[in-house]
Structure formats: C-alpha cells, structure tokens
C-alpha cells in the first residue's frame, strides 16, 4: 500500500507541476484554475490532459483508492447531469443493449439496434418525463402518425410490420420515429408543427451527445464492430441521410457539402507492418493521401462561406465591434485497427451453428488535418500475439461527420517462431604445451568489452 501511495503522490506531483508550468507565476487556487482552464486553447488542454493521464489511471485502476474513486465518480456524474450531459448509468444502459446483441450474433449491430439503444437511454427518458411534468411542447401525435405511415411505405427496418414494434415503450417509439424522420427527411414529405419541430431540435442535440458517449464506450471496451456501426449512425444523423452505400445518399452528400463550400473527401489508404516475434510491440504505419486536397483558392472560398454562415447565425452586435474570426476549417478522422479472428464453427456432435466470436479493437488514433494538407499519417501500436502464426488486421479510416467516404484496408503480418539461443560450448582446459605455444603468438587479439 505504501508503494501505491508513493506512485499516486508522484503522479499527482507531476500533474501539479505541469499545471503550474501552464499557468505561469500564478497562485494555484480553485478559482484561478477554473478561470485559467476556461481560457485554455485546445492544444494547452491536450497537453495538460496527457500529463494528468497517469494520475487518472492510478485512481481508476488501483483498488486502494476505492473511496476516492467513488467520490470522483459522484462528482463527475453530478457535474455532467447539471450540464445536461449523459452520466455513468447511461453508459451502462447502452453497454447492456449492445451486449445483448453481441451474445446472440457475430454480425455488427444494425443501425436499428444502435438507434433503439440510444432512444431508450435514461438520458432521453428524462426528456420525456420533463415534458409530461412541465407541460413542455410535445411532439404532435398527428405528426408522429404521418411519419410512421411514411416509414412503413419505405419499408424502413423497425417499421415494416407491427410485429417489429412489439414491446416498445411509448417514449421509445416517439424517439425512434423522430430519429428515423431525421434519417429519411429527404424522402418524407411532411410539414411538422412548431411543437414537434422544437422537440426534434432538442432531441437531436441530446442524441448527438449520447451517440458520442456510446462511440467512446465501444472503443473503451474494444467492441470494434459496434464502434463502427455507431460511427455510421452518427454521420447519418448529422447529415439527414439513411445509407452509406446508397448512390442517392452519396449525391445528396455532395450537394450538402458543396453548399457549405466543402469538397467530398476522397482518400487513398496505405498501411504497412513488419513481422515480429511473439509478444513484441507491433506497429502499423498508416498513411492517408487526401485526393481532395484544397488549393489556396478553394481554401479561401471555404473560409469566406464559413465566415458568412457564422455572421448570419450570430446575434446582432452594437457599435463597431468586430465579430470574432471563425475557427480554421479542419477535417477529423478516426483510425481504427480491427484484429480479425478466424471463423469457427461448433462441433457437429454438439449444438449446430456458428460459434459467437467477435473481432476486437487492437488500436485507434484520432487524426485532424487542415483542408490543404495532402497527407495524414499516424502509427497504431499493440502487443503481438504470443502464438506464432499468420494474423490479419483491418484498418478503418472513419468519419463521423460525412456519409459514404470511409475507407479500409486489410494487412497480414507474421508472428515468427522465437529465435533459438545456442549456448557456446565451454572451451577445453589447455595443456602446458598449448599454453606455451599461445604465449609465443604475436597476433593482436581484441579484448571483450
């Protein structure tokens, strides 16, 4: 326990030193830290987060800090709830929903499974309860009925028959109808009432938060197929589209981005990895060529359109106050490495059917680049398996903000048989004649260092 306390004290000391270095010659108090953090740039926050990671891991993984951990969790959940953000029980709910699917199927969870998990989360249940209690604007029942009828006409999964709706709570049904309306808004011709529009706007903002929490939860648990499905749903909801592979969706995506002064991403992915010995560190090198790189003229045009859009949405300012310059446009991507497992089937003498196994996340990286960057690159490292043989990894480059642009590439590497160490034989004891002869040799012999 003394050793654990020493490690914690060292991690805390390192974090406080990093914080003092960032703040400069300022007394560290609760108020000064809060004020400084509010003014920090993203780069400064990233540096400080990296320095505090050791302390965070020590608190979360060391059982000696159980009491401090409970206080930490309670404080985090309290602040998240006050800020209108998802809390720990939302993550537990979402995890159980996905686990229920993963225990019965080898396939990635469908978009409907992801949407149902989100729609039934406590985070959104509270929204429905608040509406009922406070008399807040409610989604118009007639609007919901029209949306449901249109979804059935389109044969959308989850609405193809009444049998698919069995067991849904009323608020889950309402949330799913509104979320599917967002996905199929280009196909559903209905003018919503102001009350429904307000509900949809609030719901969309909350869904974006809970979907991001679900994505992070999947990554933390190494549920790679689930994480990929969630990232697809995030992009579809953001852009009001329904399918990453549909040509019509691709065309609509291009129109939407053109109106924003942006180009549809087109990527060329190259990956490489060297063979390794069992248990060694394996590093996959990832290079992403941006075939849609912006010219200087295109970049300036994009800046102007973003600037104009920000000015239209900003409140009117008095006097000659110069509006703040909008942030420089950037692209964000996720690089996800999926360890592919060999397909296994159960013994014929036992239960028929495929054994439930899931590919696992072996590494991930976030990539951010300027619009005129021609190449993005990173490395994904993980520990190689301990059993020699051939292994396969699928590298995915994913966008949670754009539809139909994701790329992937499979690579294979070998975990080689460990090298056999051959011990040198012990030299025989020389005879007197051999010693005498050796002493008479004049050749220089290097000494062992």
Tokens of 374: 């021609």
Residue at 268 is within a domain? yes
As given in the structure block, the two tokens for residue 381 are 């490292």
201 belongs to a structural domain: yes
| 8 A C-beta contact, residue 73 and residue 81 | no
Tell me which of 83, 100, 131 is where a domain ends: 83
- Which residues, 6+ apart, have CB-to-CB distance to 395 below 8 Å? 269, 271, 284, 286, 335, 336, 337, 338, 380, 408, 409, 410, 411
Q: Are residues 118 and 238 in the same domain?
A: yes
Distance CA 304, CA 296 (A): 12
Domain total of the chain: 3
- Non-local (6+) Cβ contacts of 83 within 8 A are none
> Are residue 281 and residue 371 in the same domain, yes or no?
yes
Regarding whether 395 and 337 lie in a shared domain, the answer is yes
The sheet that has 375-383: what strands, in order across it? 267-272, 281-290, 375-383
Please name the residues in contact with 438: beta carbons below 8 A apart, sequence gap of 6 or more. 430
Name every residue whose Cβ is closer than 8 Å to that of residue 240 and which is 6 or more positions away in sequence: 182, 183, 185, 186
Read off the CATH number of the domain in which 379 is found. 2.60.40.150
Same domain, 291 and 414: yes
CB atoms within 10 A of CB 126: 14
Q: Is residue 433 part of a domain?
A: no
- 155 phi and psi, to 5 degrees? 55, 45
Same domain? 303 vs 411: yes
Give this prediction's pTM. 0.75
Instruction: Examine the domain organization and report whether 143 and 268 are in the same domain.
Output: no
359, 225 Cβ separation under 8 angstroms: yes
Quick one: 297 and 371 in the same domain?
yes
Question: Same domain for 155 and 295?
Answer: no
pLDDT values of the chain reduced to their tens digit, one per residue, 449 residues: 444 445 555 555 555 566 566 656 666 666 666 666 666 665 665 665 655 555 555 544 555 556 655 655 566 566 656 666 777 888 889 999 999 999 999 999 999 999 999 999 998 888 777 777 777 778 899 999 999 999 999 999 999 887 887 788 888 999 999 999 999 999 998 899 999 999 999 899 999 999 999 999 999 999 999 999 999 999 999 999 999 999 999 999 999 998 888 999 999 999 999 999 999 999 999 999 999 999 999 888 888 887 777 766 555 555 556 666 767 888 999 999 999 986 554 444 445 556 778 889 999 999 999 999 999 999 999 999 999 999 999 999 999 999 999 999 999 999 998 876 666 666 655 554 443 333 333 333 233 23
CB atoms within 10 A of CB 301: 14
Parallel, antiparallel, or unpaired: how do β-strands 389-398 and 330-340 relate? antiparallel
Among 211, 242, 273, where does a domain finish? Answer: 242
Residue range of the domain that includes 126:
111-242
Is residue 287 a contact partner of residue 375, using CB atoms and an 8 Å limit? yes
Residue 24 located in a structural domain = yes
Strand pairing of 281-290 and 360-370? unpaired
Do 122 and 229 fall within a single domain?
yes
Joined together, the tokens standing for residue 446 give: 């290097």
CA–CA gap between residue 88 and residue 9 (Å, rounded): 27
CATH number, domain of 228, equals 1.10.3380
Q: Is residue 443 part of a domain?
A: no
Nearest-angstrom CA–CA distance, 358 and 374: 35
3-state secondary structure of 339: strand
φ/ψ of 284, rounded to 5, equals: -95, 125
The rounded distance, in Å, linking the Cα atoms of 52 and 33 is 14
* Pick from 255, 428, 437, 292: nearest CA to 370: 292
261/305 Cα distance (integer angstroms): 6
- The reply to whether 305 and 379 lie within a common domain is yes
Q: Is residue 235 domain-shared with residue 202, that is, in the same domain? A: yes
For residue 442, tell me if it sits in a domain: no
Sort strands 375-383 and 281-290 into parallel, antiparallel or unpaired: antiparallel
């Amino acid at each position: 326990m003394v050793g654990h306390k020493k490690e914690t004290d060292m991690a805390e000391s390192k974090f406080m030193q990093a914080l003092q270095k960032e703040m400069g010659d300022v007394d560290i108090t609760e108020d000064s830290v809060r004020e400084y953090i509010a003014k920090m740039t993203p780069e400064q926050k990233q540096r400080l987060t990296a320095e505090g990671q050791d302390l965070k891991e020590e608190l979360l993984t060391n059982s000696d800090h159980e009491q401090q951990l409970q206080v930490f969790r309670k404080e985090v959940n309290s602040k998240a709830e006050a800020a209108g953000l998802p809390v720990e029980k939302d993550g537990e709910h979402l995890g159980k929903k996905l686990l229920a699917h993963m225990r019965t199927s080898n396939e990635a969870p469908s978009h409907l499974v992801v949407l149902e998990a989100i729609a039934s989360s406590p985070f959104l249940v509270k929204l429905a309860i608040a509406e009922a209690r406070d008399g807040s604007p409610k989604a118009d029942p007639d609007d919901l009925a029209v949306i449901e009828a249109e979804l059935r006409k389109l044969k959308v999964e989850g609405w193809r028959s009444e049998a698919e709706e069995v067991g849904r709570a009323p608020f889950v049904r309402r949330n799913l109808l509104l979320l599917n309306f967002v996905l199929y808004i280009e196909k559903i011709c209905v003018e919503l009432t102001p009350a429904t529009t307000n509900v949809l706007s609030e719901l969309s903002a909350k869904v974006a938060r809970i979907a991001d929490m679900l994505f992070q939860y999947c990554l933390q648990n190494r549920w790679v197929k689930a994480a990929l499905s969630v990232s697809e749903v995030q992009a579809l909801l953001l852009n009001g589209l329904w399918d990453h592979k549909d040509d019509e969706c691709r065309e609509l995506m291009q129109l939407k981005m053109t109106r924003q002064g942006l180009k549809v991403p087109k990527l060329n992915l190259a990956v490489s990895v060297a063979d390794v010995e069992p248990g060694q560190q394996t590093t996959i090198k990832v290079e992403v060529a941006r075939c849609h790189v912006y010219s200087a003229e295109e970049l300036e045009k994009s800046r102007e359109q973003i600037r104009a859009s920000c000015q239209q949405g900003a409140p009117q300012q008095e006097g000659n106050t110069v509006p703040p310059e909008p942030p420089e446009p950037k692209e964000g991507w996720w690089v996800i490495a999926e360890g592919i497992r060999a397909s296994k089937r159960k013994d014929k003498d036992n239960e028929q059917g495929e054994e439930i196994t899931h590919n696992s996340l072996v590494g991930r990286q976030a990539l951010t680049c300027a619009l005129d960057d021609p190449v993005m690159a990173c490395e994904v490292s993980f520990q190689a398996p301990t059993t020699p043989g051939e292994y396969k990894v699928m590298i995915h480059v994913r966008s949670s903000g754009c539809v139909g642009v994701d790329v992937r590439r499979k690579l294979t590497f070998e975990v080689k048989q460990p090298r056999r160490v051959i011990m040198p034989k012990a030299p025989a004891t020389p005879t007197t004649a051999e010693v005498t002869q050796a002493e008479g040799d004049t050749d220089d012999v290097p000494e062992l260092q």
